[in-house]
Amino acid sequence: MTYSIIQADASAGRAPLLNLWRRNLPRATPERYAWLYGTGPACTWLAQDDDGEPIGATGLMTRDLLIHQRLCRAGQAIDLNVDRGQRTMGLALDLQRSVVESLSERGLDFVYAIPGKQAAPIQRRVGYQEVGPIDQWTKPLSAEYKLRQLIKPRLPAKALAWLMHPWMRWRYGEKSLRNGAHHQPVALSAFDGRFNELWKHAAPQFAIFGERSAAYLTWRFHQYPGIVYRIFGLADAAGGLEGYVVYRSEANDAVCISDFLFKDQNACTNLIAAFSQQMRQERVQAIHLTFLGPAWLGNQLTTLGFCQRATQDVLLVYANEESGIDETLLTDRNNWFFTRADLDVEG
């Protein structure tokens, strides 16, 4: 069978891509297409058979990053899908080659991907290199979170959890809140200019650091279809941001941190401790976090009561040779600060 691969604009590509999604990516929605491809920074390639019918597609979302504080352009390879009857290695490879071969034309320094089980071998064969696993972290805020798995009656589990509460609070980090009088927790309704200042101030802590401007965060979170995000901030005495957490509710009285940022390591400790205290007051049972980054930050999360869980998600990168970026820089996980703010989907 022969096929052709074309790049489709947002208007012409909408109907065929949505038809492919219905067949192959049932969780993807028309609202996501409008957010990501219609008004967002993504483009798509379509594979068509001899009759012009779409049989596969892939996409690329572009964004700004800082590499050693130098502004760069990068992309995320997204939405690779091929109809069941056409799932040969050749078609999927050609779709991914279309993405990486477009980097110079688009002025992109590199592209990254978080492939599923089936896509990973394809992207590795194209030339993607592994950065490492994207770690999953959990912080229990109440013993009830685990006790209810062991003790089925709800009331005994709640009573024992109440008795354990002082120890849980001591063990899992809230004692680490420092200079509390000078750092005030605040609930924020919008991403304002203070986020721009924090992004610039925090950038030197990390070699590879995706954009966290107010405009980007507004698009990524407040305009994301179907999910309501909340913003927790830690303000200094003058009202400036020391750090923030963007989070959403999950099942079983848990919350998921989709993004967080802090002015420095001390602010990180205060931010996570204050956020944990707030979540305890709201009767949240556990905090979940998806994150890839330097070892020192993982150690800090452990000190603050987070436990690392097994994961199958892996970050891969493909460097544009013409960009001059050292691939070993990209493949060292200690250089990165990577959260769900750097992804096109919520897991």
Residue 343 lies in a domain: no
Exposure class string for 288-299: b at 16+ Cβ within 10 A, else e = bbbbbbbeebbe
According to DSSP, residue 36 is labeled: I
Q: What is the rounded CA–CA span in Å between residue 266 and residue 234? A: 12
Global confidence as pTM? 0.90
Range of the domain at 53: 4-133
State whether 152 and 265 are in the same domain.
Answer: yes
pLDDT at residue number 214: 98
pLDDT recorded at residue 164: 58
Q: Is residue 47 part of a domain?
A: yes
Q: 42 and 182: one domain?
A: no
Q: Which residue type occupies 97?
A: R
Query: Is 240 contained in some domain?
Result: yes
Residue 227, pLDDT > 50, answer: yes
Is the model's pLDDT at 167 over the cut of 90? no
| Segment 6-16, tens digit of pLDDT | 999 888 889 99
Pick from 43-47, 140-144, 241-245: least confident: 140-144
Same domain, 170 and 129: no
Do 75 and 10 lie in one domain? The reply is: yes
Q: Could you tell me the CATH number of the domain that includes residue 274? A: 3.40.630.30
**pLDDT tens, position by position, 15-35:** 999 999 999 999 899 999 999
Instruction: Determine what percent of the chain is predicted with pLDDT higher than 70.
Output: 88
Domain assignment of residue 337, yes or no: no
How sure is the predictor about 165, in pLDDT bands with cuts at 50, 70 and 90?
Answer: low
The reply to whether 300 and 210 lie within a common domain is: yes
Q: How far apart are CA 324 and CA 7, in angstroms?
A: 27
pLDDT tens digits along 249-300: 998 889 999 999 999 999 999 999 999 999 999 999 999 999 999 999 999 9
* Distance (Å, whole) CA 57 – CA 5: 9
In the chain, % of residues over pLDDT 90:
74
Q: Are residues 89 and 159 in the same domain?
A: no
The rounded Cα 172 to chain-centroid distance in angstroms is: 24
Answer yes or no: is 340 within a domain. Answer: no
Q: Which residue has the higher pLDDT, 164 or 344?
A: 344
Q: Which of 343, 119, 58 lies closest to 227, judged by CA?
A: 343
Query: Do 110 and 150 belong together in one domain?
Result: no
Q: Is residue 318 part of a domain?
A: no
User: Does residue 97 sit within a domain?
Assistant: yes
Q: Is residue 122 part of a domain?
A: yes
At residue 179, the pLDDT reads 47
pLDDT confidence of residue 335? 98
Q: Are residues 166 and 71 in the same domain?
A: no
Q: Tell me, yes or no, whether 295 and 241 share the same domain.
A: yes
Q: How confident is the model at residue 325 (pLDDT cuts 50, 70, 90)?
A: very high
Give the chain's radius of gyration (CA, Å): 22
Q: Is the pLDDT of residue 329 over 60?
A: yes
251 and 164 co-located in one domain: yes
Q: Which residue did the predictor score with more confidence, 218 or 117?
A: 218
Neighbours of 137 (CB within 10 A): 20
The total of structural domains in the chain comes to: 2
Q: Which amino acid is at 55?
A: I
pLDDT band at 226 (very low <50, low <70, confident <90, very high): very high
219 DSSP 8-state letter: I
Q: How far apart are CA 223 and CA 49, in angstroms?
A: 35
Calculate the average pLDDT of the chain: 90
State the sign of the Cα–Cα–Cα–Cα dihedral 228, 233, 239, 242. negative
pLDDT average, residue stretch 333-346: 95
Greater model confidence, 189 or 165: 189
> Are 188 and 39 members of one domain?
no
Same structural domain, 217 and 290: yes
168 pLDDT higher than 80: no
Distance of CA 166 to the CA centre of its chain: 33
pLDDT of residue 129: 97
Domain edge (last residue) among 133, 167, 199: 133
**Predicted local confidence at residue 268, as pLDDT:** 95
pLDDT of 311 reads 84
Summarize pLDDT for 55-93 with one digit per residue, the tens: 999 999 999 999 999 999 999 999 999 998 887 769 999
More confident of the two residues 199 and 251: 199
